Amino acid sequence: MVRPSGLSGWPGIGIIVALAMTLSACGTVARLEPVPLRQVEASVLPTEDPRIRPGDQVLEHEVIDLVARRLASHEGSGAMLALSGGGANGAFGAGLLIGWTEMGTRPEFDIVTGISTGALSAPFAFLGSDWDDELREAYTGGGASSILSPRALAGLVGPSMFSAAPLRRLVEQNVTPELLRAIAVEHAKGRRLLVVTTNLDTQESVIWDMGQLASQGDEQALVLFREVLVASASIPGVFPPVLISSLQGDQIVQEMHVDGGVNMPFLAVPEELLATSNRFPGAERASLYVVVNGQVGRTSGVVRGNLSSILTRTYESMSKATARTFIAANAAFAERNGVTFRVASIPADEDASSLKFDNESMTRVFELGRQRVLGGDAWVSPATELSAPPVVIATPPTS
């Protein structure tokens, strides 16, 4: 029998999906109709909206120009870090970063992007090794242990299985005014911190320039910064969506934002750059690092014939295939432009769970990431990552 990859000890994604569908009619989230700008307080919106919507041609080119110019310029290190989603497995990326610091070879990244749990660690990765203690505490300090606790169950009163309250508390504890001030300083140097959410209303990925938001420097910026991180980590059905106000013309509307991983596993090279055959002069000095907080390699085994096993296995297969597709597309861009591209992920034969938020499990995965980078095993070429043979994982049949 196949062992669901890293999902033992907590209900698998398949179980959560099944339960969420069963309870879908029981809970809803109230939404406001669009209202004229004059009818709401100015504090509802940031002074300068940091949203960058890939569907907006002008704004999309801003992202493309940012990546192309910064990576090919001689102003910074030319290094970019992309952190994927993965729930509790975000501890892997946190451990990898801290191990990288201990190695003494961790660069100062020109651009850091984060999705889902990667969005939660991205601010610390962006600020560098001086914030390693905060990064370690966020993932191994025990604060995440209540995120999927029975006390957080909310399926009968909201549009999700769990309340977002523990997740919000974790974000509020870690995203402080001091952190925003530090990000604003680095943003002023030309470095960029980007976080992705998914707008369910438009089915678009929205890229948030978190440094621009931090530079606003007021209470509203702090509130929205936290809301974006919560939204990016809000797996639909597991956590409720986050309603974020937006200015459209002269009206305020509420957008429904959820996990950025719905549309993409990580943000490295913007989609339009991936699709073009043009080369970018100077890009050969750039280096791109992608941390997949999960497993990319295939596992082979016999799936049990029950609903939860089938749904869990389907979700895992889909997620891994999507990650491999994005890795391949970014690798093709890197090869065309001479960009150094390296990938790190959890080995397929490791027991790693995206839903095990207990401190013991997260500390173990944290140490896995740390030890792999210290041992020189963490970073591999995309060709190595994509060519790994399937791993056979079997467990004794149940009676």
Distances (CA, A) of 346 to 69, 118, 277, 302, 369: 32, 14, 31, 22, 8
Rounded distance, CA 256 to CA 86, Å? 21
Mean pLDDT across 216-223: 90
Helices (H), 5-131: 13-22, 57-72, 90-103, 117-127
Q: Are strands 111-115 and 192-199 parallel, antiparallel or unpaired?
A: parallel
How long is the chain? 399
- Coil, helix or strand for 187? helix
Give residue-wise pLDDT tens across range 342-375: 999 999 888 887 888 889 999 999 999 999 999 9
Task: State the first-to-last Cα distance of the chain, in angstroms, to the nearest integer.
Answer: 12
Determine contact, residues 193/183, Cβ cutoff 8 Å: yes
pLDDT tens, residue by residue, 93-145: 999 999 999 999 999 998 999 999 999 999 999 999 999 999 999 999 988 88
The residue type of 129 is S
pLDDT band at 276 (very low <50, low <70, confident <90, very high): confident
In the predicted model, is pLDDT for residue 26 greater than 70? Answer: no
Other residues' Cβ atoms within 10 Å of the Cβ of residue 385: 22
* Token representation of residue 12: 């698998």
Are the C-beta atoms of 346 and 92 separated by less than 8 Å?
Answer: yes
Strands 251-259 and 35-36, how do they pair? antiparallel
What is the rounded distance in angstroms from the CA atom of residue 306 to the CA atom of residue 14? 10
CA neighbor of 14 nearest in space, from 248, 326, 304: 304
Which residues face 380 on adjacent strands?
A: 343
The pLDDT value recorded for residue 274 is 80
**Alpha-carbon torsion angle 253, 53, 120, 41, nearest 10:** -30
Buried/exposed code over 350-361 (b: 16+ C-beta within 10 A; e: otherwise)? bbbbbbbbbbeb
What's the pLDDT at 46?
58
Q: How high is the mean pLDDT of the chain? A: 82
Our measurement of the distance from residue 104's CA atom to the centroid of its chain's CA atoms, rounded to an integer in Å, reads 25
Q: Across residues 241-269, what is the average pLDDT?
A: 88
pLDDT at 29 over 80: no
Q: Bigger pLDDT: 176 or 239?
A: 176
Determine the Cα–Cα distance for residues 367 and 94; give it in Å rounded to an integer.
9
Q: What is the separation of C-alpha 162 from the centre of its chain, rounded to a whole number of angstroms?
A: 19
Q: Which one is predicted more confidently, 288 or 278?
A: 288
Dist. CA 349–CA 254, nearest whole Å: 43
Residues 37-80 pLDDT 10s? 444 454 456 567 888 765 544 344 555 666 666 655 667 788 89
> Are the C-beta atoms of 1 and 396 separated by less than 8 Å?
yes
